[in-house]
Amino acid sequence: MSDDKFRDLQLSDSALIIEKPPGPRSRELLQKQDQTESAAVSYPKAIPVAFEEGKGATLKDVDGNIYIDFFAGAGVLNTGHCNPEIVEAAKAQMSKLTHNLDFPTPIRAELVDELLSLLPAKLRNTAKLLFVAPTGSDTVESAVKLAKFNTGRIGMISFEGAYHGMTAGAISLTANKSLKENLMPMLPEVHFLPYAYCYRCPFGKESSDCGLECARYLEHVLEDPKSGIVDPAAIIIEAVQGEGGSLPAPDEFLREVRRLSGEYCIPLIVDEIQAGMSRTGKMWACQHSGITPDIMTVSKGIGGGLPLSVLVFDEELDVWEKGAHVGTFRGNVVAVAAGVAALRFIKKHKLWKYAARLGEDVFLPRLRELQDESRFIGDTRGKGLMLGAEFVMDKKTKRPWTEFAKDVRKACYRRGLIIEIGGHFSNVVRFMPPLVITRELAEAGLEIFADAVKEVEDANKDTAVTIASSK
């Protein structure tokens, strides 16, 4: 693998701050957005900028500043911003046929072939595909619906820290309490069980000697007739939690979840919306543990930047009738053409291997060095290019430090790095660049992060001393 293989995909001169961000044009557009769009707008509240151009793992704002992108549009742009092969494919399709409902087309058939060829081996020969509405959330809705159709049950088991989207069913499966206040119940009988968050084990165990308590608890809930949880229509899980804080579940935990769901005849939905499409160093995050889901949700990266989502499931579950889950924009043909190009690009470059190497050789070693150097980075973790650094006030107590993570995000932005935070306490800085980032840009971005941490540490010197002496 040559280190500069993706160099031509990027804007040159990254990162380059020529106008203190947000610059005047950004401010103008932000103000207009503030006046005209809903208070629900989110990302620009944390990173106040207006972008004009994106290439590979780089972004240019309307004032001419160039940023390194460690966020990839919330994990969509695995093949990079404006990947030329994808742009060409979408343009060609755009001038031929732009909307097609679910009639077959040659390009749709190509997408099916490409996707099937990349599925986990055991699913490849038995999979049925359903093009669902363009968002990940709708993919989750359709997965739940399919599971209910098959089992005749209504409840669901999800996990603490989970994020599955914002539509009624998907938000019900999402663990974030503040998003749900005054809204529930939408989907009834949803139960959240402990995820294998080993840094903060809900059972107080050390991961070296934990007896997989989290899996045992799931087993207990399923086997105890008085656990209070009726057998659900499905269990839904992310193999690596994204919004939960770049948390990879240990393989043994996932294998136990798979074993138990099989034993109790509960379909297992693995949500690959963020962790799939090569992000974690394998094409699908579930492949690290070797488990095969009954149902898999695919979105974000599959459209190469255009909205496209697909539900993948075992053919035995395909018991619903014509029209059971239809919609106007499902499998939009331009997005499908972009998706074919994205999948071919991923395959041609074995993007999962590139992500795995960059994560192992560049990101994790530097993050671990920074963890050793800083009193406030309690944990660094992740797989491939889905990584996180968790900020704490004190490494012993692990008290989360949300403001620190937010200030690091801000300091990164001012220096030319776009990065987001997540985690149970919003105290995890997340590293998820487009997978076509060059080694050079990755290293430059990591140094910006290191400088930002130093800046926030210096600004908090007194706070840190107060916290330490108040113990």
Ligand X SMILES: Cc1ncc(COP(=O)(O)O)c(C=O)c1O
List the one residue out of 119, 140, 125 whose CA is nearest residue 234: 140
Complex with ligand X: residue 387 or 452, whichever CB lies closer:
387
Side-chain-facing half-sphere of 215: CA atoms under 13 Å? 17
CA distances to 49, 69, 141 from 144, in Å: 37, 33, 5
CB of 299 to ligand X, least distance (A): 5
Residue closest to ligand X (Cβ): 136
Complex with ligand X: residue 222 or 254, whichever CB lies closer:
254
CB of 370 to ligand X, least distance (A): 25
CA distance 393 to 410: 18
R_g (Cα) of the chain, nearest Å: 22
Complex with ligand X: residue 268 or 392, whichever CB lies closer:
268
Q: How many CB atoms lie within 10 A of CB 166?
A: 14
Complex with ligand X: residue 114 or 138, whichever CB lies closer:
138
CB of 239 to ligand X, least distance (A): 10
Complex with ligand X: residue 62 or 311, whichever CB lies closer:
311
CB of 84 to ligand X, least distance (A): 25
Q: Which two tokens stand for residue 43?
A: 């990302």
CB of 94 to ligand X, least distance (A): 22
| Alpha-carbon torsion angle 101, 103, 109, 111, nearest 10 | 10
CA distance 260 to 276: 23
CB of 242 to ligand X, least distance (A): 4
Residues that bind ligand X (CB under 6 A): 74, 135-137, 140, 163-165, 238, 242-243, 271, 273-274, 299
Complex with ligand X: residue 339 or 416, whichever CB lies closer:
339
φ, ψ of residue 263 to 5 degrees: the values are -60, -35
CB of 309 to ligand X, least distance (A): 7
Q: Which residues share a beta bridge with 234?
A: 156
Q: How many CB atoms lie within 10 A of CB 29?
A: 19
List the one residue out of 412, 411, 470 whose CA is nearest residue 445: 412
CB of 43 to ligand X, least distance (A): 12
Complex with ligand X: residue 136 or 305, whichever CB lies closer:
136
Complex with ligand X: residue 279 or 409, whichever CB lies closer:
279
Are 155 and 229 a contacting pair, CB within 8 Å?
yes
Strand residues in 266-395 grouped as ranges (E): 268-271, 295-298, 309-314, 377-383, 386-391
CB of 256 to ligand X, least distance (A): 21
Side-chain-facing half-sphere of 144: CA atoms under 13 Å? 28
Complex with ligand X: residue 111 or 170, whichever CB lies closer:
170
Are 352 and 118 a contacting pair, CB within 8 Å?
no
